[in-house]
Structure 1
Amino acid sequence: MADTSIPSFKAADLVIQLSSSLKTKPDVGEFGSVFTDHMLTIEWTATEGWKAPFIRPFGNLTLHPASTSLQNAIQLFEGLKAYRGDDNQLRLFRPMLNMNRMANSARRTCLPTFDQSELLECIRKLVEIEQDWVPHSDVASLYIRPTFVSTEQSLGIKKPTRALLYVILSPAGFYFKTTDAVSLWADPKYTRAWKGGTGDCKMGGNYGCSLYAQYEAVDYGCQQVLWLYGDDHQVTEAGTMNVFLHWINENGDEELATPPLDGIILPGVTRRSILELSRKWGEFAVTERYITMDQLCCAVKQQRVKEMFGCGTACMVCPIGRVVYQGQDLHIPHQDAKVTTRIAKELTDIQYGRTPSDWAFLV
């Protein structure tokens, strides 16, 4: 819920300035490399509160060199998508979950609160204006990137008195350059997040600090990092994805498991949706539990692993085919990944309107 102590901006006050020169819409290229004609900006100051939301031509921002978003990483972002269905209707997938997560991240960053429903309506209007940018494809979409930064002009570390919330759009195809199963490098010397930290918030600093390990993973012949935590090397996330393991567990039971939300794991919208979908099937145990690398290694050796996959808004559902860990090369079954395939189909059927669902928000 929004903090009513800080009055929110209102979508009814939205000001729209359309561009006089529209871009030629290219084919969908590399993820996040092409942007639409317009953007949404909403300014805030402690003295004047929220200004009116403003949809304007896409353009560069002007920031003071001492802005604390640049100096102290007081900033956050979100990610969701607009899909064009077979019926030509545009849909967002469970967008209020993204709005709520963004508000939680804002509280953790000491940025001002806002009414999530009002922001969603502003985003809906922006997507409506840019509807011709939504690909006519069931393997592509329009990626929506809400971003919230401090514009406080100070080298001191303090609560911002100025901020900017903005939203940009980018047509998006596949996140990875290949549709094959990804390979993961697991090394406990690097930690993505820790208890009491900000691993459960979508802050830029969580991602920038992962680059060094990411490139070391490539040196080991892997595409992504499998992040571990603790002395027992708990599995947490894979690159920017939540992780699921479909296996026969230690008790001999068939189980779909994912690490719990204990402050380290990002509460992904796709993650939550997969848990809810698979629990409705009622075909095997679906749990949120800790999984250690010793357990995974043992299960692979005993051929108890059925499949493993990562998930997220950008990458959707991505099979995992290999994990490199302390000299061991663990090969994960993925050629006949029935659960991965089924989950991906059920989610995309909702997103593209083939299956009616209240998870689909019409634009």
Structure 2
Amino acid sequence: MTAANTTPADATRFTIREVAARLDAGARAERCRDATFGRVFTEHMVTLRWDPDAAWHGGRVEPMAPLPLDPATVGLHYGQIVFEGLKAYRLDDGCVGVFRPDRYGERFRRSADRLMMPRLPVRDFLHAIEHLIRVDADWVPPDRDRSLYLRPLLLAADADLALRPARRYLFVLTAFVTEMFFGAKRAIDVWLSEDYVRSVPGGVGAAKYAGNYAAGYRAQAQAAEHGCDQVVWLDALERRWVEELGGMNLLFVEGEGTAARLVTPPLTGTILPGVTRESVLELAPRLGLTVAERPVSVDEWQDGCRSGRITEVFACGTAAQITSVGQVRGRDRTWQVGDGRPGPVATRLGALLADIHRGAEQAPGKWLHRIDDVRDRA
């Protein structure tokens, strides 16, 4: 089926071409049996193109298929690629909600700007998401521990290897069904990276840039060799200050009960400004928690856990949601956080965030972007 979608006159238009034969419910269930992160993709994708003459144009919703790329494509050689990651959830009333897509769209624009790429208007970012969810609504899982992960990507598409920013770009949006990032709810073990760093002052640490992730593979492999789930990135200059984990931000809980407060490293340009981090900091007062953004050293982390001043540590991110840290390991030291299990603050925040994702709890502002006309396709 091919149709032109009705959009505002000043917005990018999308042509819709659906697959000739959709997978039935049984085939989808079989493919989703093992929904390991990044493997079970839906049946369609969205593409948009940009060039200096036409700006954003050629919007398409089409069957998921390989991309035809010239071997000289700039993004493949010079790494001019940024991406995003956000989630859609099946709401308790049967509709679909996308969590804070405007904030992810704004970060996508900032990442693009840092790499000297055109900034996709948030309006078009939202329209692309709405189109893909409407055509693949059957893939949004009803299970509470599953969601539809949306992956927007912007790629320099020139077939010209002059060492300069590209003049043509390709935007691609795909989606896949995913479950809990670390499997069953548990506290994870983390490894202090003292041999490698993720970012440096003045670099691209605050951008969701593809190279940041590939450059972290070696440190993540080192963490795995020491029996850890994630790497802890330290600052590049002193290797003293805690920054973030391999794919998520870190928060520390000081004290207990009504005296508890959250502490997290400040955004100094070397840390990715997580939307989940931002959301947790905004939700914390609802649970009676105060919030502080300040540097935290490795020594303070270790000493705080030993003295009992730091009672919990947890990571947060789009994929991992809220995940407690149980043990920290390094080259010459190891210590436990609390009793090594998920703590009460992380548990309460995680439950509150999950309820907001499903529409069971009222969110501040307009955090949940509802797509109402897919209710009957669940």
Q: TM-score range by the shorter chain?
A: over 0.9
In the alignment, is the contact (CA less than 8 A) between 1:9 and 1:52 conserved in 2?
no
- The runs of 5 or more residues in structure 2 that have no matched partner are 1-7, 372-378
Match of 1:269 among 271, 275, 279: 275
CA distance in structure 1 between the partners assigned to 2:370 and 2:13 by the alignment: 21
Q: Displacement, 1:46? A: 2.2
Q: Deviations over 1:331-362 (max 9, x none)?
A: 11243611101110111111101013331110
Output one character per residue of 1:225-272: Cα deviation in whole Å (capped at 9) or x when no partner: 0111131611111120100010249xxx74311111110111111000
Spell out, residue by residue over 1:123-154, the C-alpha distance to the aligned partner (whole angstroms, 9 max, x if none). 11210111100011111110000000001112
CA shift in 2, pair 1:198/1:298, >3 Å: same
Match of 1:75 among 74, 81, 98: 81
Contact 1:188 1:233 (8 Å CA) reproduced: no
Check the 8 A contact 2:193/2:219 in 1, yes or no: no
- The one of 295, 301, 308 equivalent to 2:306 is 301
Contact map agreement 1:190 1:213 (CA 8 A) in 2? yes
Which residue of the partner structure matches residue 101 of structure 1?
107
Aligned match of 1:182: 188
Matches within 5 A, 1:1-363: 11=11, 13-23=13-23, 24-25=27-28, 26-28=31-33, 29-229=35-235, 230-231=237-238, 233-248=240-255, 254-281=260-287, 283-333=288-338, 334-335=340-341, 337-357=343-363, 358-363=366-371
Q: Secondary structure at the match of 2:211?
A: helix
Q: CA RMSD in A?
A: 1.8
Rounded Cα–Cα distance in structure 2 between residues aligned with 1:190 and 1:328? 17
Relative to structure 1, the CA distance from residue 336 to residue 174 in structure 2 (aligned partners, 3 Å threshold; closer, same or farther) is: closer
Q: 1:11/1:162 Cα in 2 relative to 1: closer, same or farther (>3 Å)? A: same
Instruction: Show CA shifts across 1:61-91 (max 9, x none).
Output: 0111111111010001001111001211100
Q: Could you say which residue in structure 2 is the equivalent of 1:4?
A: none
CA shift at 1:97, angstroms? Answer: 0.2
- Size of the alignment, in residue pairs? 352
Q: Which residue of 1 aligns with 2:4?
A: none
Q: Give the 3 Å change call, closer, same or farther, for CA 101–336 of structure 1 in structure 2.
A: closer
- Give aligned-pair identity as a percent: 33
Secondary structure of the residue aligned to 2:125 is helix
- TM-score, length-normalised on structure 1? 0.93
Structure 1 stretches of 4+ with a deviation exceeding 3 A read: 8-12
CA distance, structure 1, for counterparts of residue 263 and residue 240 of structure 2: 16
